[in-house]
Structure 1
Amino acid sequence: MAGPLAGLRVVEMAGIGPGPFCAMVLADLGAEVIRVARPGAALDPNDVLARSRTVLHLDLRDPASVREVLALVEHADVLIEGYRPGVMERLGLGPDVCLARQPRLIYGRMTGWGQHGPLSHAAGHDINYIAISGALHAVGRSGSAPVPPLNYVGDFGGGAMLLAVGVLSALFEATRSGRGQVVDAAMTDGAALMSAMMYGMKAAGQWSNQRGENMLDGGAFFYDTYACADGRFVAVGAIEPQFYALLRERCGIADDPAFDAQMDRDAWPLLKLRLAEVFRTRTRDEWCLLLEGCDACFAPVLDWDEAPLHPHNQARQTFCELDGVLQPAPAPRFTRTPPGAPASSATATADAVLQRWRQPALATA
């Protein structure tokens, strides 16, 4: 495997959502990820989160299969699991057992509520975890109900990404201490952490609990989306004075004194209506010709089919194709150790993996 994590050995206990996404990111960056899945689980090329893995089909109700996982753990650097608290312990694969086998192991635990707390054993999904973190309340239009921001904030941002940061941080610490540890990544904690700037702005009196009436939540007329003459949308984020001035110039409203009051919150609703009228005078592509690429902080709002075709995304090769499925390419970029292209997942046996893992890896040689 190519990439900065080449030589890193990861055991992934197959799950849904954030656990697989974290494992995908590690695999994208060069780690060898062995996915332990239930017997009969099919390899689905449309499951982008499962790419670049070696899959072992093991029945963890069978003690022999548990022993095979523990044999892998002895040679692994990281284990990732996303079950409810206590499940891995009941399987005989809890952190105490695994760390006894491999004292340097980083044991990553991905849950919604965390390993402890009054809600830790309750079922839930992204929408529930971001609800108690304050994040969901802030998303939506003024006067309307909160809008789920897909499952970006809890599952992927506050969950998987934070687990990846935690795992890599623990790996760095292990290079000094020689000891592994457990990483407890809770989506409630992560969603709260991602809201740090908003909590700071609220403390400073720059953010309110009124949804859709703040600068970055669609309340400001200069930071919002607008419909064009063809029914498609554009996104505007001209906050700084020089960028706002350029937006006014390109939109033909530089001489309109009403738009001088950029930071007058009382004027925002009316100016939003006025700016909406301006954007309805041209199609989205016509606005792109006028505004895209300049410092007016402008972009077209693209759908899933359009985004991979945008010239900027094509120039950066932001998307790739694997098994006929168009999908995001690995990120971020590295100058010396670029990741390779994603690969199809394939099945293997524990014996085959162990034969390879008994040899020193780059990370431990």
Structure 2
Amino acid sequence: MAELDELTPNYRRAQRRWPDAPSLAQHYNALASCFVGGGFGLVEHVKSFLESVCVTIMGELREPMPSSAPSTTELLVAALGPLGLRNTKGSSKLDKVLSGFNRLADALADMRNETGPVAHGKDGFLDAVRTDHARAFLAVGDAIVGLLLNALEGREPDLSATREPYESFPHLNERIDRAVSVVARVDEDGDRAVVVFSVAMGPRGEVIELRVEPSRLLYGIDREAYIEVLKSADLAASEAEDEDEISDIESTQATKIVEIPWVTTEPGPQVVFVSKYTGRLELHREGLVDFLKGEKVSPRQEDSDGNFLVDSLLATIDQNAGLDWTERARIQARLKVACKRAFVHFGLDAPQADEIAGRLMVWLRVQAGSRLAEAEVPADVA
């Protein structure tokens, strides 16, 4: 990769000019891989990269396509024209230079047709492009791309159409930041919150109001934060569904209250995170480890505080399972929610955690039902 950039720097230069252009990045990566791998398909990749640069420039300058199926040379002419490099049919000495570059583009297409192994169904025994030929192809493309970039850099871009990133215009950004004042507030749009930016500008303080959804703001500025908030939103929605499920179970069952002095009101789902569990469920550790492996979940997942998944699950199950838990749907629902929250804490997304927690309840009823049903009576109750 370094040798390619040193030998022909303009390919990387073009890719860095439009870092958010996926097609250009793919062409560059394919070209670099081809160069390292012996040259198979090199001519095709050089030609494709050049055409991609031409089309990108034309898009920024709002230039139409020269035809429905333009050749490489036609694209080059169409891209150079609005940059002030148009052939004037002999009235300028620059015409010879432009004519030379046009011939290079024609030659590149001819070389692609003749020696490119990817083009037009070549013989299966055709050798990869030799090193000296590869360098020639690369040099031709690099020279043309360099001409395009040099001409483009001397021109002020059309800000309404350019695909260059925000960071490419620090001088313009600073002018705007110094010239405006901004007031932000949160407004309601139906059942959604909207961030409203009021940007005052000019001597009269004319105001431009921008209304942006939080999701759009996060997506455009901080994609990682967008993903984190999305996970939290999914978890909150899932937990609300879990609470509704517990409430539904409670409301549909006939509840008979039995006065037992040492039994208190059932708490909500409680998640316990520990680094080492040593309790009544220790004998089920190996079985739980096998269950997690079967679900393709690592039992030794560790959080930032040094707590482990398998130990935390055992402690959470121990904390939430009580008397007759296998017969009481509410306790089962509470236990499932607690285990689900433990899974989410250790990195699983909410839907996956919900599915695994459901299967864990089945496993518990089969493997540890009787053991969990043995309620531990406090020492002062005989």
- Structure richer in helix, relative to its length: 2
TM-score, normalising length from structure 2? 0.22
Q: Which has the higher contact order (CA 8 A, sep 6+)?
A: 1
Q: TM-score, normalised by structure 1?
A: 0.23
**Higher strand fraction: Structure 1 or Structure 2?**
1
